Amino acid sequence: MTKHKVGYLIGSLATASINRKLAKALVRLAPPELEMDEISFRELPLYSYDYDADFPPVAKAFKAAIAAVDAVLFVTPEYNRSIPGALKNAIDWASRPYGSNSFTRKPSAVIGTSPGAIGTAIAQQSLRSVLGFCNSPQMNAPEAYIQFRPGLITDDGEVTDPTVEEFLRNYMTEFEAFITRVYMALPKGT
């Protein structure tokens, strides 16, 4: 059984974020082949190429955390029909300076929840565009737009709706299979 380290980024910085609850649920429902660890970006300053010659320690640590995982899972809300600014800032840090993009050939998946009927569909499309430019192979199916309602996921990450729980478990199983396929085609270190 091959294990894969997965770093997950939660697009919202809010402590009580419903996407943080979703991330906890995904960690609980992930197959044993996935070792899940949150990669925080809360402390990153706003990116500027002025830092390219010498990243601050927090940015070096962030890039090292991305480099240390086999895949990245983005769990994000939708802000103004796009991704949160803090998440975009984190991606900018990880993809710079030119020639040291941490996302190159690193498998990724995108999921999110919102009280709205279309979940985070538009934010996910925006994020997919950014990840495409960053040369990150993306799991395109199944797509996952979760409409959040009160009580759907507990603070501990327990999903109270069996249908949603099964869908999320299958999503994580598909992500594990996708990571395996990517590394069959693009072996690590090549």
What mean pLDDT is reported for the chain? 96
Model confidence over 50-78: pLDDT tens digits? 999 999 999 999 999 999 999 999 999 99
Q: What is the pTM of this model?
A: 0.96
User: Domain 4-185, what architecture?
Assistant: 3-Layer(aba) Sandwich (3.40)
pLDDT of residue 190: 66
**Domain coordinates in residue numbering, the chain:** 4-185
DSSP result, 52-121: TTS--HHHHHHHHHHHT-SEEEEE---BTTB--HHHHHHHHHHT-STT--TTTT--EEEEEEESSTTTTH
Per cent of the chain over pLDDT 90 is 94
Task: Summarize the confidence of residues 89-93 as an average pLDDT.
Answer: 98
